[in-house]
């Protein structure tokens, strides 16, 4: 008899979870344009600030900036101040906002945004989680775990990459357990290779 009660409870909880995801998808679809606009703004702000510190330009097109191979003309002191008083506080604000968005809609992966909007998405909201301040990692890790279980990430590689960041970027096990493999090149240097599509 206790087994039957346990089975019924498990069934009810899994039904609620499935409905919850369906409800989140429906809500995201009904607000998709606003959510995309907000995510896009946060993404470009994130990348532009980092590119300004790195390259001295606010351009968020990192492919173009990487090809310029320029150094920022900012002094180390100025770069440190920008990180301490601008980028880090904004990262905290964006992370709090992402947590709220995830609570309401589930994680808005590129795949979900494209599917529900019918549009091509040219940015990846994953970066907004990657730049979560370490002091907020404890709060975000269970949320990320739950969103992965729901299938709201594009791949296990994205999930492993986020976990690696949230755990302090020191242990590759999060990536190696989630779609990455480590290889050695001809010079004996290790590199991580994604096995995800």
Identify which has the larger pLDDT, 174 or 58: 174
Whether the Cβ atoms of residue 40 and residue 108 lie closer than 8 Å to each other: no
Give the residue among 154, 148, 115, 126 at the shortest CA–CA distance from 42: 126
Query: CA–CA separation, 122 vs 141, rounded Å?
Result: 26
Phi, psi (deg, nearest 5) at residue 151: 85, 20
What secondary structure letter does DSSP report for 152?
A: -
User: DSSP states of 36-47 as a string?
Assistant: HHHHHHHHHHHH
The stretch 11-19 carries a mean pLDDT of 47
Rounded to two decimals, what is the model's pTM?
0.82
30-41 pLDDT, tens per residue? 999 999 999 999
The candidate with the shortest Cα–Cα distance to 49, out of 95, 86, 94, 89, is 86
Task: Please give the span between the terminal C-alpha atoms of the chain, in angstroms, as a whole number.
Answer: 46
């Amino acid at each position: 008899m206790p087994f039957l009660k346990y089975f019924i409870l498990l069934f009810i909880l899994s039904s609620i979870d499935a409905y919850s995801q369906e409800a989140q998808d429906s809500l995201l679809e009904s607000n998709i344009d606003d959510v995309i606009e907000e995510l896009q703004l946060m993404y470009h702000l994130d990348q532009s600030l980092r590119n300004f510190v790195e390259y001295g330009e606010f351009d968020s097109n990192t492919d173009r900036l990487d090809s310029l191979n320029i150094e920022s003309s900012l002094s180390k002191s100025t770069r440190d101040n920008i990180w301490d008083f601008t980028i880090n506080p904004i990262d905290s604000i964006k992370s709090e906002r992402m947590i709220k968005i995830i609570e309401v809609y589930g994680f808005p992966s590129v795949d979900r945004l494209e599917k529900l909007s019918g549009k091509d998405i040219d940015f990846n909201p994953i970066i907004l989680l990657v730049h979560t301040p370490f002091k907020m990692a404890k709060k975000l890790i269970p949320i990320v775990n739950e969103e992965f279980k729901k299938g709201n990430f594009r791949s296990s590689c994205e999930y492993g990459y986020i976990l690696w960041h949230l755990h302090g970027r020191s242990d590759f096990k999060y990536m190696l357990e989630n779609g990455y493999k480590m290889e050695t090149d001809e010079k004996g240097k290790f590199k991580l290779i994604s096995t995800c599509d």
